[in-house]
A and B are shown apart, each in its own frame.
Chain A
Amino acid sequence: MNSTMNRLPVSTWNPLGVNYAPASAALPGVPAGGWAKAAALSPALPAGVIAPTEADFAHFAESGMGTEADSWLAENANLVNHLAVSGTADAPVVFETKLDADHPHALTYLTVDAAAGSSLTVVQVVRGDAENGVSANLTRIRAAENAHVILVQVQLLGNQARRWNAVAIEEATSARVEQVRIELGGAVTACGTRAVLDHNKCEYDLDAVYFGSGSDVLDFNDVSVHTGKDTLCEMHTAGVLTGHASKILRGTVDFQRGAKRGVGHESEDVLLFSPNARNRTAPLILCGEEEVEGQHAASVGRLDENKLYYLRSRGLSEAQARRLMVDARFAPAIDKIPLADLQDEVRENVAGRLNDELDG
């Protein structure tokens, strides 16, 4: 199934290996005994948010991982949640799952139905580790007129588990969906978000960070499809690669005909801390409309030697200086986590990983 997963919206040279997910990131086989029960805490629901037992998302846009992956994720989910919000939720809804030897599988399917003018923050946290552990997630967000949904995803898995994370977004007029995606662990991490901006003045923002080490495989496919007028997307990713980690990031801003005055900005900043890490980036801007503004910028390499020299001249050790530079890159995403404890946990996780690389 990997050849239909995380597909680049427009293919390019096959030898580059960026047209779809590598075989090593293919969805897992179902264990002989089926999926184990997931370990999850039931979230508290703030006023204005309900958890209906059913939700109609049958004919929903595909995620960045593609329709086949979406179907698989929905069918195999061992933890299904539906949220519906009206009005302004005064606290985030927090879903926490943890993998361990007794609960090695967490396959979650979440739908979020945000009514007109509503506002909601959803936090999804996955922790722990297990041999052959699987953390898979499909999240579908429907944001009605003027709705504002913030989706914060924090993945703090160990290095045995594998991770798949698909997000599909549909937005009505003047809706706004912000996604924060922090993927710090997992031997395999495959993520794909697709936002359909087919109504006027809607907006999609993504702040993403990743950390790949050892022989991790990371595969991302983020797509913003603009057909409405005056739409906006901001997709910004920062990452660190060490060891023999291999990462592919596909980022696409797709301005379709009629998307007048659409604006799309995407960027990626990759820090390479190892001569053996491999970084592949395919940032696409597709344009069938004249009255748009699209921009992409990418920067790949080691830390800037001049900046490093400056910081060392101010008394910082090289390791401290490197940590500071990584913190600066990760801050825009981490600062958006609405829970102070979780922010601290993420910062500690990043620091721990950096310590392993820089000191160990």
Chain B
Amino acid sequence: MRAFETEKTEVAEVDRSVYDIKDKVNAAFEVNSGLTAEIVEKISEEKHDPEWMREFRLKALDTYNKMSIPNWGPSLTGLDMSNIVTYVRPNTEMRGKWSEVPDDIKNTFERLGIPQAERSSLAGVGAQYDSEVVYHNVKEEVAAQGVVYTDMESALTGPYADMVKEHFMKCVPPTDHKFAALHGAVWSGGSFVYVPAGVHVDIPLQSYFRLNAPGAGQFEHTLIIVDKGAYLHFIEGCSAPKYNVANLHAGCVEIFVGEGARVRYSTIENWSKNMYNLNTKRAKVEKGGTIEWVSGSFGSHTGCLYPMSVLQGEGARMEFTGITFAGAGQDLDTGAKVVHAAPNTTSHISTKSIARDGGVSNFRSSVVVLPNAKGSKSSVSCESLMLDDRSRSDTIPAMDIRCDAVDVGHEAKIGRISEEAIFYLMSRGMTEEDARALIVGGFAEPIAKELPLEYAVEMNNLIHLEMKGSIG
């Protein structure tokens, strides 16, 4: 047997075959690549925006042009906006029945298991293909409770138009950062959810985003308003086939958590490895409300994802549970942000990150406690696991505490798989490969148990797949 010190962990690529099947691009309409006022006007015209939205888009474009690329975080030099097509409309209208969705698109979602999941475990499903939602449906009994789950375009002009206008990009203003401004200018698709006061949506809603066109961007907007005392679990999934040109995802999720309400937002991000995933997610939480983020980041070439929670009501709570798994060619910069803006608020951030095969998996966080947030508590815990010495894993947390009556804690750990643990497991009859897989699985387990069951199973499979043949 070779000495452990000389062993190298060579991790195989993930089997992405189901995600990588490309459909023939059959767009009904697409704008030219690049970003100009004419393109933004054209998108607005194609989408039959109300006038306020047209003006909003142009103002956001102006903001985009004035803002700089962030001077921190992963390199975005491979992203050239002049090559990105910001709007690609698939060759279909939005449907309320799977049977009416065109076969090629339907088959893609069938392979991803979306209709099956809808039948077995979801209260409603939205499916977006490139820039537009192609399918949206919510179970009758859920709709009967007054729950609204529809595409953003319908919401923008339907009975909830005023509510949309009141909340749209109020949580994430276009001035927040350059890619929020970009989103404001060219957003398309996404979902609108409204859960009335006191309604408990027992099974989750899910939106699935699929980007098929090479060199395209996806800019869906998800707006969720959960009224007083209500509960919602929303699941977001995303994937794309791999191309050799850069694709861009700059979506935006805004969640308004009402007094005493609770929202769980779960994401499994499995974009292809040519994707720049520059997504923005934010929740505002009122008195006694709770936001729970569960986030798994596996795909993308470059990712910047830091769901943010603004705890603006007394006693509001947030929990963030995340795992990031970065492999060859990936630079994933993930984490969370929280602002304690009211007394007795609580936040807990717990993350695990794994880097292997030359990948970069960085954790970044920000905890801000404002002067009025007396009695607040915050804890941050991040653990990183390096599987070889070609990879990189940086931990970059920051705290800004402006109130004395607080309890703020932070813990970070970085390390490798313990050789003693491997030795012990091997002495019990396991192969080294299985021992390593078991240890990585155990490392990820606290996160996996927070995921919806089918995703937890998928993640465990993924880890075992990754660790197979990992001893070189």
Seen from chain A, the residues whose Cβ lies within 8 Å of a Cβ on chain B are 10-14, 16-19, 255, 257-258, 260, 270, 272-302
| Shortest CB distance A177–B (Å) | 23
Q: Digit string of B404-422 for contact with A (CB within 8 Å is 1, else 0)?
A: 1111111111111000000
Interface status of B441 (Cβ within 8 A of chain A) = no
B356 to chain A, nearest CB (A): 9
- Bound Cα distance from A19 to B72, whole angstroms: 10
Once A275-B405, A280-B400 are accepted as A-B contacts, the answer to whether A296 and B386 lie under 8 Å apart by CB is no
Nearest B residue to A273 by beta-carbon distance? B404
Judge whether A284 and B394 touch: CB under 8 Å. yes
- B394 near A274: Cβ-Cβ < 8 Å: no
Which of B394, B400, B407, B416 contacts A285, CB < 8 Å?
A: B394
Give B residues with C-beta under 8 Å from A.
Answer: 9, 71-72, 337, 364, 366, 368, 371, 374, 384, 386-389, 391-416
Whether the pair B406, A301 counts as a contact (CB closer than 8 A) is yes
Chain A residues closer than 8 Å to B386, beta-carbon distance: 287, 289-290, 292
How many Å lie between the Cα of A298 and that of B409 in the bound state?
6
In the complex, chain A residues whose CB is within 8 Å of the CB of B407: 301
The reply to whether B396 and A12 contact each other, CB–CB distance below 8 Å, is yes
- Decide: A282 and B384 in contact? CB cutoff 8 A: no
Can you report 28 A-B residue pairs in the complex whose CB atoms are below 8 A from each other? A11-B71, A12-B364, A14-B72, A19-B72, A255-B414, A275-B374, A275-B403, A277-B404, A278-B400, A279-B402, A280-B401, A282-B396, A283-B397, A283-B410, A284-B396, A285-B395, A287-B392, A287-B395, A287-B414, A290-B9, A290-B388, A290-B391, A292-B386, A294-B414, A295-B412, A295-B414, A300-B399, A302-B406
Q: Is the Cβ of B401 less than 8 Å from the Cβ of A292? A: no
Contacts of A292 in B (CB 8 A): 386, 414-416
Q: In the complex, what distance in Å separates the CA atom of A14 from the CA atom of B70?
A: 9
> Which residues in B have their C-beta under 8 angstroms from that of A285?
384, 394-395, 412, 414
Is there contact, CB below 8 Å, between A298 and B72?
A: no
User: In the assembled complex, how far is the CB of residue A299 from the closest CB belonging to chain B, in whole angstroms?
Assistant: 5
A301 to B375, CA, bound (A): 10
Q: Which residue of B lies closest to A282 (CB)?
A: B398
Residue ID in chain B nearest A247 by CB atoms: B401
Given A299-B408, A300-B406, A10:B394 Cβ within 8 A: yes
Contacting residues, chain B, for A282 (C-beta < 8 A): 396-399
A10-B394, A288-B389, A290-B387 known; A297 vs B411 contact (CB < 8 Å)? yes
CA distance A282 to B394 in the complex (A): 13
Which partner residue on chain B sits nearest A303 by CB separation? B404
In the complex where A293-B415, A296-B412 touch, is A287 in contact with B401 (Cβ < 8 A)?
A: no
A16 contacts B404, CB within 8 Å?
no
| Contact yes or no, B401 A294, CB < 8 A | no
Interchain CA distance A286-B363 in the complex, whole Å: 10
Chain A nearest CB from B420 CB (Å) reads: 13
Known A280-B400, A287-B386, A288-B389; judge A294-B415 contact (CB<8 A): yes
Q: Is the CB of A295 within 8 A of B413?
A: yes
A294/B413 in contact, CB under 8 A: yes
**Nearest 7 Cβ contacts at the A-B interface:** A272-B404, A11-B72, A290-B386, A298-B410, A300-B408, A294-B414, A296-B412
Q: Which residue of A lies closest to B71 (CB)?
A: A11
CA distance A198 to B394 in the complex (A): 19
Within the complex, the shortest CB–CB distance from B400 to chain A, in Å, comes to 5
With A12-B72, A287-B386, A289-B386 as known contacts, state yes or no: A300 contacts B401, CB within 8 Å. Answer: yes
> Hey, which chain A residues are within 8 Å of B394, CB to CB?
10, 284-287
Report Cα–Cα, A289/B391, bound state, in Å: 7
Give the distance to chain A from B332, nearest Cβ to Cβ, in Å: 14
CB proximity of A45 to chain B, nearest CB, Å: 43
The CA-CA distance from A285 to B385 in the complex, in Å, is: 13
Bound together, the chains give a CA A280 to CA B391 distance in angstroms of: 30
Cβ–Cβ < 8 Å partners of B402 in chain A: 277-279
A220 to chain B, nearest CB (A): 14
Cα of A10 to Cα of B70 in the assembled complex, Å: 13
Q: How far is the CB of A297 from chain B (nearest CB, A)?
A: 5
Tell me which residues across on chain A come within 8 A of B371, comparing CB atoms: 275-276
In contact, A275 and B404 (Cβ under 8 angstroms) = yes
A277 CA / B371 CA spacing, docked (Å): 9
Cβ 8 A contact of B398, one of A12, A260, A295: A12
B398 cross-chain contacts in A, Cβ below 8 A:
12-13, 16, 18, 280-282
Among A288, A296, A301, the residue within 8 A (CB) of B395 is A296
A287 touches B384 (CB 8 A): yes
Q: Which residue of A is nearest B369, CB measured?
A: A300
Residues of B within 8 A of A297 (CB): 409-412
- Which residues of chain A have C-beta atoms less than 8 A from B399's C-beta? 279-282, 298, 300
Contacting residues, chain A, for B415 (C-beta < 8 A): 292-294
CB distance from A110 to the nearest CB of B (A): 32
Check if A274 sits within 8 Å of B404, measured CB to CB.
yes
CA distance A288 to B358 in the complex (A): 10
B417 to chain A, nearest CB (A): 9
Q: Which residues of A contact B391 (CB under 8 A)?
A: 288, 290
Give the Cβ gap from B345 to chain A, nearest Cβ, in Å.
14
Query: With A and B bound together, what is the CA distance between A121 and B326 in angstroms?
Result: 46
Please name the residue on chain A nearest to B401 by beta carbon: A279
CB proximity of B141 to chain A, nearest CB, Å:
43
Give every chain A residue within 8 A of B410 (Cβ-Cβ). Answer: 281, 283, 296-299
In the complex, what distance in Å separates the CA atom of A288 from the CA atom of B371?
38
Cβ-closest chain A residue relative to B387: A290
- What is the bound-complex CA distance between A17 and B65, given in angstroms? 24
Bound complex: CA A298 to CA B408 (Å): 8
| Min distance, Cβ A301 to any Cβ of chain B, angstroms | 5
